[in-house]
Amino acid sequence: MTKAELDAVAEVESLRKEALNNFDDELRTYKGRVSEARSDTSNIKLKIADAAHGLERLEGDYRNQLETALIRVKESQQKLDAFRLRHGVVGPPAAHSNMLLTVLFVTFMLLLESILNAQFFAKRNELGLVGGVLQAGMISAINVFIGYLAGFYARHKNLKGLSSALLGFGSIFIWIIVSLTINFAVAHFRDALEANSWNDAMKLAISTLIAKPLELSSLDSWMLFLIGLIVTLSSFLKGYYSADPLPGYNALWDSVERAIDDYAHSYGEAHASMDKEFKDLVQELRSEVDTRRANLRSAVDALDSRGAMLDGLRVFLRTTNGAANQLLAVYREANLASRKEPPPEYFNEVFSFGDADVTDRKLESLNVEFVEVEIRKMEDLVNVGVEKLTKAQKRSLQAFPTVQDIKAGRIEQRSGEDSHRFTRSIEDLDELFPADSTPVSDNPEPEPEPAKRSEESNDQVKKPAPKAAATKKRSASPRKKTTTADEGTVPTNPSGAPTRAAEENGDLFESERRSGGDNQ
């Protein structure tokens, strides 16, 4: 062939090679997806192992929190038990009095005594009723404060120990002395106001209190004295019963209750978090299997539908033969129109690129049946793994007592819990699901490199190269098969050299170029 013919054929050949290479690339991609099916099972095993390690780490974190909370419960309970043993007390302590009710009671007593006493002090006070209320309010505050405080500390008499007894009985004694003294002094002051000024009455009240403390001259003074005693006695009782009669018992009991509440919160949070993490990991594993199953079946479906694309490729390859012959026909018609000598014989031959090896053999050799086997293996692997992890999950944190156990007195942590329970539960997965050696291809053969794609045909021939430049340019081109109009194959030399017709063609046009004839 001449250079013009070779260039025309090369243009069509580049499109043909591109289509063949694209076909090989797509086939290799889908085969690669199918080939990864076995590695998918291995990846599922790794994900199950990661899930087991993650659960163990989470359980370890919560185990540390629960151990700390349980130690606080033990220490608080030990202090409470020691207190009970020392003072011989059983049962829970008396509840704290309501703080709001206590405040309301103190306020009520202050107002009551202030209103009652104000009537007695208002008569001789320069400020009248206002001055009487202020004077009565001060006395009421003293009575309420001393009574409540003495009653609160009087509880210490119930504790064992000399210091506690001194504090308790001393508080009662001081309260009695102070209360009687203050209220008798107020009553004597009220008597002195009947005939003396405010300042003189105060001096006279002190002297009569010392000389004749029990002698009061009026009924109003005795009423004032009794009101003061009632207020301070009520405050004393309120302070005494504001908490349990044993001081410190409420605090120790509350400490144990708070420790148990903290432990219960940590215990519930640990189990809830472990359950949530476990469900999330199981869902993640099943989603992973669903995704890989869909990808594998998509690849298999694509391979199964390659027959239609293969038919399209064959049609395209046949059209390249027609396109090449049309281009050659245009050139040869123009050549015949300007030629004086008879045309070479190969002008009457039909050009063909040959048959490329795109048979179904490459698709049929791919063993896609094992994909379903691997999919079932992945599903079984996840089901077995989840079952084993579920059994291990049910035993999570079982070494720790429940809140009911603690309240029943069973505080000790049970021994024998395996901290590596999750990973040990899945150790036999490799034995249950060993690595499979099923080949991806029944007749494996190496894939040709896309850049080195060749048309595999025993009937292909090399293109003749009339000139050195054309020979160098086409040195990497694959051999072509040239047939006659009735599809007869032109034989080639064993070395792949051009046939005699090609040599004559080259010599003919070389002589034309030497003679100056422009036949192109």
| Contact (Cβ atoms closer than 8 angstroms) between residue 178 and residue 235 | no
DSSP H or E segment with residue 429:
helix 429-432
The pLDDT tens digits for 401-441 are 888 888 888 888 877 667 788 888 888 888 888 865 444 44
Highest mean pLDDT: which range of 30-44, 62-76, 323-337: 62-76
CA distance 252 to 73: 11
Residue pointed to by tokens 């009970």: 84
| Contact (Cβ atoms closer than 8 angstroms) between residue 121 and residue 131 | yes
Please give the pLDDT value at position 166: 94
* End-to-end Cα, the chain, rounded Å: 11
CA distance 355 to 480: 10
The pLDDT tens digits for 440-470 are 444 444 444 444 444 433 333 333 333 333 3
CA distance 397 to 414: 10
Which of 476 and 324 is assigned the larger pLDDT?
A: 324
Tokens of 210: 């010392």
| Contact (Cβ atoms closer than 8 angstroms) between residue 80 and residue 256 | yes
140: helix, coil or strand? helix
Residue 244 DSSP symbol: -
CA distance 111 to 126: 22
Q: Please report, rounded to a whole number, the percentage of residues in the chain having pLDDT higher than 70.
A: 73
Highest mean pLDDT: which range of 19-33, 317-331, 354-368: 317-331
Give the orientation angle of helix 129-154 with respect to helix 99-121, to 10 degrees: 140
Which of 158 and 495 is assigned the larger pLDDT?
A: 158
Residues contacting 205, CB < 8 A, separation 6+ = 185, 188, 189, 191, 192
Residue 333 has pLDDT above 70, yes or no: yes
Q: What is the mean pLDDT of the chain?
A: 75
CA atoms within 13 A on the CB side of 22: 12
Degrees, nearest 5: CA angle 30-33-39: 160
Task: Read off the amino acid at residue 279.
Answer: K
The pLDDT tens digits for 144-156 are 889 999 999 999 9
| Contact (Cβ atoms closer than 8 angstroms) between residue 227 and residue 182 | no
Residue 272 has pLDDT above 50, yes or no: yes
Q: Please report, rounded to a whole number, the percentage of residues in the chain having pLDDT higher than 90.
A: 19
CA distance 336 to 321: 22
The pLDDT tens digits for 225-255 are 888 888 899 889 888 988 888 898 999 999 9
Residue 132 has pLDDT above 90, yes or no: no
Please give the pLDDT value at position 66: 92
Please give the pLDDT value at position 368: 60
The pLDDT tens digits for 61-101 are 999 999 999 999 999 999 999 999 998 888 888 877 777 77
Domain extents for the chain?
3-81+257-355+371-414, 99-243
Residue pointed to by tokens 């942590």: 413
| Contact (Cβ atoms closer than 8 angstroms) between residue 47 and residue 288 | yes
